[in-house]
Amino acid sequence: MHKYKEEQIYLDYAATTPCDDRVLLEMFDAFKNNFGNPNSLHKYGENAMTSLSIARSHVCNLLNVNNHEIIFTSGATESINIAISRSIQKLSKSGKNHLITFKTEHKATIDSAKSLERSGMVVDILGVTNEGLINFDELEKKITSSTAMISVCYVNNETGVLQDAERLVALCRKYSVLLHLDATQALGKIPIDLSCLDVDMLSASGHKIYGPKGIGILFCRKKHQSLIRMPLGNLDVEYGIRSGTPPVPLCVGLGEATKIAKKEMSSDLARITDLRNKFISGITSQIPEIYINGCQESNYPGIINMSFRGCEGEALMMEANKIAIASGSACTSNKLTISHVLDAMGVKHDIAQSSLRISIGKYTNEQDIDIAIDNLVNATKKLRSISPVWDMIQEGVDLDEFFKDSIDHHNH
């Protein structure tokens, strides 16, 4: 049993995951015995380059792509920045200076979009439906002859909502627009076959799939790599897209994590789905006014965004202290900050501010879920018993009107 289970039940797998013991063993061997620089011509360098190539091939096998299409980076944020910023800047020289993305994207994508906008590029950050899904009619209307790229989070990191990637590909091919997928919460958890799914670029991180922190990937089809290559980039180092000595042990760890994910993904997904259903039914059968935020027909089951109406999210998180989870709201001075994702989905303010993200992983078991249910049910009952907001709900007060001046909206 992992030590963290002795302290708290860990249900924050969407934030990060514990490193798989099998990954640690491979990394330890690489740190100890494979210290060479893969760019060196001697035997130590050759051994390091071999390990790097094997690690890359494991990632390629998971995604069903060619070895030269995977670039190792420091993580998904860097991969996103490279994919979006470099592509738009390069394409803008030929008049393609328009990026389309969405209000529910991860901060890394929003930040890249805002940076491009400040530099003079045209950026549209579109809304989504109340279920967190892309409105394809609205999206298609925004595409113009200057649109260079559409960037989409495949699985949302707060709600688990899964976008229709096949439809996105079809739309992008229709208008000759690049498609970038942020697959940080999808890689190794749901099947992604890029030999069939014709996305142009894809980003992900190692630490979301039981691998190490500080390592990620950028998939880029060979025909587009000139868009993201650095000026004077060394083609022998990550195809001229990223410089520096590759961190071989971290790459080995990510490679091993993807190898394990390919083998165990199907069984993990089925078990996590069962645990999700158990958790949701266990909570909703005991407490009224519980809301599941996001589309329930299209999602990754390991991420549950649940609102406990009448309880402030952070207070509930602290009261339910037997479990490690994430809150979708935060208090800053006299303002209540709610999740930009839930805000973009049009979730009512009092429901959004009572949200928690519960994320299930491969080390979660039924006993963990039982403890989480019991802990959250008791915490909710306790907080509601002393909550004036819950009293107002019972009295039928319009809480949207009540909260409107105390909500700090994320201006993404």
Q: What is the pLDDT of residues 387-404, one digit of tens each?
A: 877 777 787 776 666 666
Q: Are strands 147-153 and 98-102 parallel, antiparallel or unpaired?
A: parallel
DSSP per residue, 302-346: TEEEEEETTS-HHHHHHHSTTEE-EESEEEETTEEEE-HHHHHTT
The whole-number pLDDT of residue 412 equals: 41
The whole-number pLDDT of residue 411 equals: 44
Q: Are strands 216-220 and 201-205 parallel, antiparallel or unpaired?
A: antiparallel
DSSP per residue, 103-126: TTS-HHHHHHHHHHHHTT-EEEEE
| Distance, CA of 129 to CA of 149 (rounded, Å) | 21
331 is catalytic: yes
Q: Are strands 290-292 and 303-308 parallel, antiparallel or unpaired?
A: antiparallel
Q: Say if residue 409's pLDDT is above 60.
A: no
Which of the residue ranges 181-190, 232-241, 294-303 would you say has the lowest mean pLDDT? 232-241
Q: Say if residue 101's pLDDT is above 80.
A: yes
Which value, to the nearest 10 degrees, does the dihedral of the CA atoms of residues 53, 55, 59, 62 take? 110
What tens digit of pLDDT does each residue of 302-357 get? 999 999 998 988 899 999 999 999 986 554 444 467 889 999 999 988 899 899 99
Q: Are strands 98-102 and 216-220 parallel, antiparallel or unpaired?
A: unpaired
The whole-number pLDDT of residue 408 equals: 56
Q: Say if residue 94's pLDDT is above 80.
A: yes
Query: Residue range 281-301: average pLDDT?
Result: 96
Q: Are strands 326-327 and 355-359 parallel, antiparallel or unpaired?
A: antiparallel
Q: Say if residue 178's pLDDT is above 80.
A: yes
Q: Say if residue 1's pLDDT is above 50.
A: no
Pick the more confident residue, 139 or 232.
Answer: 139
Q: Let me know: does 368 contact 5? Beta carbons within 8 Å.
A: yes
What tens digit of pLDDT does each residue of 71-87 get? 999 999 999 999 999 99
The whole-number pLDDT of residue 233 equals: 67
| Residue 321: count of CB within 10 angstroms of its CB | 10
Report the candidate in 201, 173, 214 with the shortest Cα–Cα distance to residue 86.
201
Question: Which residues lie across from 100 on neighbouring strands?
Answer: 124, 150
Query: Residue range 160-165: average pLDDT?
Result: 98
| Distance, CA of 56 to CA of 38 (rounded, Å) | 13
What tens digit of pLDDT does each residue of 236-283 get? 677 778 888 899 999 999 999 999 999 999 999 999 999 999 999 999
pTM for the model stands at: 0.92
The whole-number pLDDT of residue 71 equals: 95
DSSP per residue, 187-202: TTTS---TTTS--SEE
Q: Say if residue 166's pLDDT is above 70.
A: yes
Q: Are strands 335-338 and 407-408 parallel, antiparallel or unpaired?
A: parallel
Q: What is the mean pLDDT of the chain?
A: 91
List the domains of the chain with CATH numbers.
4-12+265-408 (3.90.1150.10), 21-262 (3.40.640.10)
Report the candidate in 216, 193, 220, 231 with the shortest Cα–Cα distance to residue 90.
231
Question: Which residues lie across from 125 on neighbouring strands?
Answer: 101
Q: Percent of the chain scored above 70 by pLDDT?
A: 92
Q: Say if residue 376's pLDDT is above 50.
A: yes
Q: Say if residue 20's pLDDT is above 70.
A: yes
